[in-house]
Each structure stands twice: as C-alpha cells, then as structure tokens.
Amino acid sequence: MTATAGPRSATSTWRALRAPLAVGAAGVGLAALLHFRDPNLSGSYGLCPFAALTGLDCPGCGGLRAVHALTDLQLGVALSSNVLAVALVAALAVAYVAWIPRRLADPQARMIVLSTRTGLALLAVMGVFWIVRNTPWGAWLGS
C-alpha cells in the first residue's frame, strides 16, 4: 500500500512560492527602475570599465538600454542595443514561468539548473558575441 499525497496546505504552498515571488518582485523592480531611469542618458548608471579602458563593447554593453527599450515595448530598439541581452531576458522569462509549477511540485526546485556542457556552451556563445560585436560586420548585434 502506498501513501498518496494529500492536498497542499496554504502554508506549504506559500513556502514553495516564496522564492519565485521574491525573484519576480526583484525582476519587476529592476525593470521599473530601468523604465523610469533612462540608461540612454550619459553616466546615468556609470561606465562599463572594459569599454572605458579599451574603447570596445563588452557582452553586456547596451544591455541596460535593451531592457529599457523592452519596458517601452520597443523590440527593434532593444535588439539594436544588445541582441544577447534581449535573448537572455526572453530565456529568463520562460525559465521563470516554468519554475512556478515545478516549485509547487517540488519546493526545493531551482529556477535554472545548467549542466557543465550547457554552461560552457553559453560561455562560448558569449565569447563569440563579444568578439563579433566589436567587428565592423558584427555591429548589427548592438552597441
């Protein structure tokens, strides 16, 4: 005879959703900050140390502008600021939405779990993006 799980109590549901709600609130808060404090104004968020030292864009350069444009629903502007940042925002949104039912099923479930191979592949993509975006033929990737 196997035991079946009974209905979930409100307390256990709250405990399971505490982390996703905190992450969601932080994401909404950061998006609101980027919406209302325009990163297109010079120095509004400081300078990228890599860009300041080398004159080249790092993989994150343009990311704040891209998220700002997304909060204004300007996908084309966001893509022209930083294609990689837009893809990252989309991937994180999908991972977040998928996390909630997983969290309800398993209160210890994490939002994103990457294998070593996947993590290395993502680092390689970021490295290629970093190099290509600083070439004349890769300028369309954002700056």
| pLDDT above 90 as % of the chain | 64
Indicate the range of 10-14, 86-90, 91-95, 96-100 predicted with least confidence.
Answer: 10-14
Percent of the chain having pLDDT more than 70? 94
Angle subtended by helix axes 83-105 and 10-36, to nearest 10: 170
What is residue 37's predicted lDDT score, i.e. its pLDDT? Answer: 93
| Maximum Cα interatomic distance, the chain, rounded to a whole number of Å | 69
User: Quick one: pLDDT at residue 30?
Assistant: 95
0.95 surpassed by pTM: no
Can you give the residue ranges of every domain in the chain? 10-141
Residue 114, CA atoms < 13 Å, CB-side half-sphere? 11
Residue pLDDT, tens place only, 61-89: 999 999 999 999 999 999 999 999 999 99
